[in-house]
Amino acid sequence: MGIGARGTSPEHIMDIERIHTPVMLERTIELLAPAIDGDGAVLVDATLGMGGHTAAFLERFPKLTVIGLDRDTEALAIARQRLAPFGDRARFVHTVYDGIADAVRSEGFPEVQGVLFDLGVSSLQLDRAERGFAYSKDAPLDMRMDSTSGRTAADVIAESSEDELRRMFYEYGEEKLAPRYARAIVRARAEQPITRSAQLVDIISAATPAAVQRAGHPAKRVFQALRIEVNEELSVLARAMPAALDTLAVGGRIVVLAYQSLEDRIVKRVLQAASSSTAPAGLPMELPEHRPQFKLLVRGAELASETEQAENPRAKPVRLRAAERVRRPS
């Protein structure tokens, strides 16, 4: 379902503001504030979604401009209406977030003071059953964050070999029963196409030992793996992180919220490399050009408080990392 009359009504915008609580909002503001609280400051919200984080930043920092990126045209339409009161301080770019450098240039800025990534599937995508992201609701197996292009989850299931499905479930879902599930899917699709989420859930459930079923929903990791494959989430993130760091001015800051270990591993690796010396081993002293370009702002990955986790279940798996640019290469 696209955005119909209710989707763009003032009442619906109020619904969104009530039900969609941005994760770790106050901590995110605290970390980015020193970089963006000034004349001409620009923040890139690389995962705009329905604009919850951006609305809060524009309210708190009256001189701030935010460039919001999203591949989801439905989310962009909602965010445009929600953020309309902020005028041209809110900019919108339809792009995947590895296009961050082009997006910043297209808006006329040589660099920015802040970047925010709130990774994973958005509340809008999860809550709209027809998008096919949720294993708990029957819907067409779509899972595309940008519903205007690319392969659907049904396409992936129909076109992938058993080996490819097994690798996908292992790598992207960290699913121990990947061989069993891949085999069951190939057997089932030979009888009829697998086009709906309920079909896939039934196939996975039937292939799952009873003892494993008691440990949680058996389809969770398979659905995660398919979503990552459909949207190329890990390869996009691996390109987006260095590109985002390159856009930051000296003193600029980046905050990343990751919700699963595969994403967090990529973020950790990129930030650790950026905040480490590049001096070859054995040099008696570190030359200026070898000094780190970034410094880490938090120790390891921060979790949401127990209070926030209790109030907002989507905050439970979050891992927050942050860094500040301290120099540019000479």
97 carries a ligand binding annotation: yes
290 carries a ligand binding annotation: no
118 carries a ligand binding annotation: yes
> Is residue 297 within 8 Å of residue 234, measured between CB atoms?
no
Written as one letter, the residue type at 229 is E
> Is residue 53 within 8 Å of residue 328, measured between CB atoms?
no
Closest CA to 142 of 210, 205, 194: 194
125 carries a ligand binding annotation: yes
Q: In what order do the strands lie in the sheet with 319-325?
A: 90-94, 65-70, 42-45, 112-118, 248-258, 319-325, 294-296
| Cα 53 from Cα 50, distance rounded (Å) | 9
Task: Please spell the DSSP secondary structure of 137-199, one letter per residue.
Answer: S--BS---SSTTSS--HHHHHHHS-HHHHHHHHHHHH--TTHHHHHHHHHHHHTTS---BHHH
138 carries a ligand binding annotation: no
51 carries a ligand binding annotation: yes
Closest CA to 61 of 91, 39, 92: 39
Annotated binding site: 51-53, 70, 97, 118, 125
List the binding residues for S-adenosyl-L-methionine: 51-53, 70, 97, 118, 125
